[in-house]
Each structure stands twice: as structure tokens, then as C-alpha cells.
Amino acid sequence: MNQHSADTVRQLGTAPVGRLLLKLAGPAVVAQLVNLLYNIVDRIYIGHMPDVGLTALTGVGLCLPVVTLIAAFTMLIAQGGAPRAAIAMGEGDFDRAEELLGSCFTCLIAAAVLLTVAFWMWGEPLLWAFGCSEETIVYALPYMRIYASGSVFVMIALGMNLFISTQGFTQFSMRSVLIGAISNIILDPIFIYLFHMGVQGAALATVISQAISGVWVLLFLNGKQTRLRLRRQYLLPKAKVMLPVLALGLAPFIMQSTEALLNISFNSSLQRYGGDPAVGAMTVASTVMQMVWIPTQGLGQGAQPIISYNYGAKNPRRVREAFWALLRVSMVVMITFWLLVQLFPSFFVNIFNSEPELMDIAVWTLRLYTAVLGLFGIQMSVQQTFMALGKAKASLFIACLRKVILLIPLIFILPHFFENKVFAVFLAEPVSDFISVTASAIVFALVFRPEMARLEAEAGETPPEQAG
């Protein structure tokens, strides 16, 4: 390990928590914002295509469950492995941390191959189930097939990058995402307009950009600067290594994969009650929610190495400090975004499409859909902290509660009680959000305090300079 790598890892246990969180979260937030451009830039360009913009935008929006499922399997492996690698580093076991890295890399490739085959074989019937119409299937199907073909690049770029940020190299993690996003911004108009490829060009631009980012990430993980390196002897996954990884990664997997089921539920219901305009409004609403939610995940990624490392090093004081710092910043960010969306919904809708048919429905549905967004800083902080601590069961419960237990059933139940069925479908989101945020806070109080008390008891037997 070179001196720079050693100093970077050591800072996780010694540097002031507030400044360290800002140092790590800043690049992570930028990386998440830039990563969001992969989907948003596609939709902006597609939504403004002459004559067919709204229909094409709706078609690409219907592919969101496929994009989400690929991200879900990435999170199952990488978000299960990266915190455990950080905990291992905190315990001083760098061999185990590298074994986690190598095993997760192989599993990501295997999962990508299986997903590519599955989406090519069953993609079209899935798109019909997602809510496609005769008009939108001609845009959704080619976009889905090209994107699925590049899933190996997507999963390596996103998954392996987490093992860079968990070591504290968030500046490099940010640059790897930035390289891919800039490539996407440049390639999108070239393929869509110059080469007249439309939605196929948008998908191809995204895949090529993720491939460039993936190569950059792998070069780092095989270079001199990284503390954790991809090694041949650790590439063959073992059950004893991967089962705890998959157990921890199950919560973010469910959060992502149920997002796909959620999109299917929303789109099928809205297609039934409001047709393509209602589905287009859902595409806008879900994208705006991504614009808020995904960047705030960068805050969690900045806090995760601090929490995981100090949890492994048995330093409860720094774990607490990191959580409260994360919660304060998250609440400020979420409330700010909530105010902007509530006050200026037409601005956000206009980003994607300005046709009156869409504006009439999208403005009020966006306000309704994001009504409880300001409280989401609580749930995000709780979820990320449980992940960082390796608390798989608590994290899994919170992940299931909002979407599986509450939101998906409410999408189908509420329309029976309201005359305006489209209103009822969108109302399901804020109702489930409020209940799940409240429950998350209660569960966290019940789990976090006893865990910190246990850690304090263990840390009391360790000299403070070693514990930190």
C-alpha cells in the first residue's frame, strides 16, 4: 500500500467527521448528479424530437423498469459488498476486503450476462405488461434491447465504482462518472439527430458512455493508487463470502427492483384511467423524483465509508457523529428541492416536453406525487446508516415497507374511493411516503441505540487511539 492510499483510509478513523463527510460526500453528490444525466439527457433530447417527442418520451419512460432492474442487481452485489469491505478495512483485514472486491466483480459480470439474455428473450412481452401501447412499443422495444445489451458495462461502471468510493477515493469516483456522463452528453445529439437514430441512438450513446466509464474504473482498481486491488486469486466467488454480501444487498435490491414493479403498477393503472398523457406525466414525475433522490444518495455514499470503517474499528462516537451530520444535510437538501418542485412545477415539466396536452396533467400530478418529499431525508439517512452498519434485516424491512407493503397495494386500492382515478393513483405516493418515513424513524430508534451501547461496551476494552 503506498503512503497516499494509507493516509486516505486512515482519515476515515481520524479526521473530523463534519469536514470528512463534506469531503467525501461532495464528490459523491456530484457523481450522482452526473450519473443522473445518463437518463435525463436521453429524455430531454428524446422529448424534444420533432413531431414524435411526447410519444417517444413515453416509450422510453416505459423502459424504466428494465433500467431499474439492471441497477437493482448491481446494488444487490455492490452495495452488499462495498460496506462489508469497508468494515473489513476498519478491522484491519485487507485480504478479506480484496476477496470481497474480486468476488463481487465476477458476480456482476455473471448477472449482466443473464440479464442480457433474459431481456432479449422476454423483453417485448414485458414491455406490453409495463403499459406499452401500439404507438409507444415501436420506441420502447429498440431502446430496451440496446440498453440491455450493454448491461455488463453499466453494472461494472456503477458497481465497481462503489468499491472506489468506499476506500475514500471519492474524487476519483466522481471523475469516473463524469467521464461517462460527458461522453453521453456529446454522443446523444450525434446519434439521435446527426445519424437520425432516434431512441436507438440515445440507448447506444448511453451504453458506449458506460463502457468508457467502466474501463476507467477497472484501470484504477488494477493501478497503484488503490488500496483494494482486483487480484486473480479472489475472482472465484465463494459462498461464505457472497452469502453475507447478498444478505446485506437484499435491501437496496428490493428498493430498486420494486421500483420496476412500481413503475409497472403505476403505468398500467394510468394507461387504464388516463391513457398515454397520464403515463407521460408519470415519466416526468418519476424522473423529477430521481433528480432529487439520486443526488441525495451521494450524501449517503459519503457517509457510508465513515460509518462502516468506524463501526469495524469499534468507535461508536464517530458513527453517531456521521449519522447526525448525514441527517442534517439530507433534510436541508430534501426540503429545498421540495419547495422548488411545489413552487415551480411547470419549470420541471418544461425540461422534458412543453406540449399543452402533457402540461395540463403533469403540473398538478407532479405537485401531488412529491407532496411528502421534504421528509425523505429521514428515510434516506436511516436506510444508508443501516446499510453501512451491515444491518440487513432492519434495512430490508424499511425497503419493503414503503413500496411492497404500502405503495403498490395503494395504487390499486385508492382508485375505488375517488371519482378522479388518475388523482387517486398519484395520491398513493405521498400517503405511503408519510407512513414509511414515520415507521423508519421508529425502527431506527429501536435498533441504533442498543447497537451503539453494545459497541461502547466493546470499545471500553480498547484504548481510544486504537478504537479510532
- Per-residue confidence (pLDDT) for residue 395, from 0 to 100: 78
- pLDDT tens-digit profile of 381-438? 888 888 888 887 887 788 788 888 999 999 999 999 998 998 999 999 999 999 999 9
Query: Which pLDDT score is estimated for 467?
Result: 37
The residue whose grid cell reads 463470502 is: 241
Confidence (pLDDT) at 10: 67
Q: What is the pLDDT of residue 468?
A: 35
Give the integer Cα–Cα distance in Å for 291 and 337: 9
Residue 219: what pLDDT? 92
Share of the chain above pLDDT 90, in %: 28
CA distance 459 to 468: 10
The amino acid sitting at 268 is S
Task: Report how far apart, in Å, the C-alpha atoms of 302 and of each of 86, 171, 186, 371, 388 are.
Answer: 12, 11, 28, 27, 11
Q: Residue 416: what pLDDT?
A: 92
Q: For residue 6, what pLDDT is reported?
A: 56
In the predicted model, residues of the chain with pLDDT beneath 70 are 1-10, 13-14, 28, 31-40, 42, 51-54, 260, 353-354, 459-468
> Whats the size of the chain, residue-wise?
468
User: How confident is the model at residue 218, as a pLDDT?
Assistant: 93
Q: Is 262 exposed, middle or buried (0-12, 13-18, 19+ CB in 10 A)?
A: buried
Q: How far apart are CA 399 and CA 394, in angstroms?
A: 9
pLDDT for residue 466: 40
Listed in sequence order, the residues at least 6 apart from 96 whose beta carbon sits closer than 8 Å to its beta carbon are: 88
